[in-house]
Amino acid sequence: AQTVTQSQPEMSVQEAETVTLSCTYDTSESDYYLFWYKQPPSRQMILVIRQEAYKQQNATENRFSVNFQKAAKSFSLKISDSQLGDAAMYFCAYRSAAGKSTFGDGTTLTVKP
């Protein structure tokens, strides 16, 4: 079975600074997909960024980028120029090619003004 580990239950960052959230996963599959989701206090899950395992190039979406290390099974999220609206719980998720998803326990990000 796949597992996803987020080793940082809480993180804080100063507004306009950069923060990196960690995620590691365990799988024996070669074809899979990785995601970062944001869950603000409203509890609505919002996709931040996605990465296909077969792509070597790291995904980027505006201020959000990932560092995908397939051999190390690591998938960290970097948030640049942090904004107050970035404060939320962030979840790393693994999805197998067959469609089954596994989520980490989340990292609560606080942004200090």
Partner 1 sequence: DGGITQSPKYLFRKEGQNVTLSCEQNLNHDAMYWYRQDPGQGLRLIYYSQIVNDFQKGDIAEGYSVSREKKESFPLTVTSAQKNPTAFYLCASTPFIGGFADTQYFGPGTRLTVL
SS3 of the chain: the string is CCEEECCCCEEEEECCCCEEECCEEECCCCCEEEEEEEECCCCCCEEEEEEECCCCCCCEECCEEEEEECCCCEEEEEECCCCHHHCEEEEEEEEECCCCEEECCCEEEEEEC
Of residues 44 and 83, the one with the C-beta less far from partner 1: 44
> Binding-site residue total for partner 1 (CB under 8 A)?
28
- Shortest separation between residue 17's beta carbon and partner 1, angstroms: 26
Footprint on residues 64-103 left by partner 1 (CB under 8 A):
91, 93, 95-103
Least distance in angstroms from the C-beta of 83 to partner 1: 22
Q: Which of residues 5-64 bind partner 1 (CB under 8 A)?
A: 9, 31, 33, 35, 42-47, 50, 52
Minimum CB distance to partner 1 smaller for 16 or for 45: 45
